[in-house]
Amino acid sequence: MSLTQWGAALLGCTTLLLTACTVVDLDENGKPVIPADPNAKASFDNLTPQQIAQQTWQPRVLDAANQHALDATALSARMATPTAAPESVFVRLTSRIEKVDISNTREKSFVMNVNGHPIEIQTGPVMRGNAIRDAAGFKFEDFTNQVQFAQLSRAYNREAVNALPPVDESWSGKTATVTLAVTLNGGKPENAAALALKQEAP
C-alpha cells in the first residue's frame, strides 16, 4: 500500500472514530456531565424529608390521587372487606360536613358521613399518621436512610396543611368536596388527612 493510500485509510479511520463519539457536556469544573439513567431507582440519599415531599408532592400525591382516588362506594366496599394488614388509599368525597372540630387548635378536623360511616378528616396544622406517605406508595426499603422514611410522613402532612383553606365552624352543614388519604385498619378509617378541599355551591 502506498503512502497516499495509508494516509487515506488513516483519515478514514479518524473520521469514523470522530463520528462514533458522543459529545459530552462539561460542568463548571470541566468534568463530564453524565445523563441520569431513566431506569435507575430514584435516590433520596442527599435530600431532606421536606425536599422529598416538595419534589414528589405533585406526581406522587396529587396526580396519583386524581387518577386513583376511591369514591364513596368503592371506599365502603374496601371497609366491608378489610385486608389482613392496614392499607392506605386516596379517596375523593363530595358530601355534607356533619361537624367541624376546632376545639384543639393544633389538630383541627371535620366529619363526613360515608354510607352511614362517619369519617374524621384532619386539616391540621398538625396531622397524625402515615396515610399520605403510604398511599403515595413509599416503602421502607425505598430508603437507605430510614430516618428520612420515618420523617417523610410529617413532611407530607405539612405540605397538605399548606394547600388547604382555613376551615372553621361556618363549614358545618355545608357540602364540600375533599380529596384525602386514609389508612384502613381492619376496615376502619384512621388518620384521614385532607389533601384538597373546597365548598360546593349550595
Boundaries of every domain in the chain? 49-199
The pLDDT tens digits of the residues spanning 91-104 come to: 999 999 999 999 99
Distance between CA atoms of residues 100 and 154, nearest Å? 23
Question: Which architecture does CATH list for 49-199?
Answer: Beta Barrel (2.40)
| Res. 127 pLDDT band, cuts 50 70 90 | very high
**pLDDT above 50 (res 41):** no
Q: Which cell numbers in the block locate residue 59?
A: 406526581
**pLDDT above 70 (res 31):** no
> Contact, 27 vs 33, CB < 8 A?
yes
Q: Does the model's pTM come out above 0.85?
A: no
**pLDDT above 80 (res 187):** yes
Could you give the C-alpha distances from 165 to 106, 161, 162, in angstroms and in order?
15, 8, 8
| Res. 17 pLDDT band, cuts 50 70 90 | very low
Mean pLDDT for the chain?
84
According to the model, what pLDDT value does residue 124 have? 94
Residue 67, classified by CB atoms within 10 Å of its CB into exposed (0-12), middle (13-18) or buried (19+), is exposed
CA nearest neighbour of 67 among 192, 190, 179, 153: 179
Q: What average pLDDT does this structure show over 136-144?
A: 86
According to the model, what pLDDT value does residue 44 have? 75
Query: Among 10-19, 104-113, 115-124, 159-168, whose mean pLDDT is lowest?
Result: 10-19
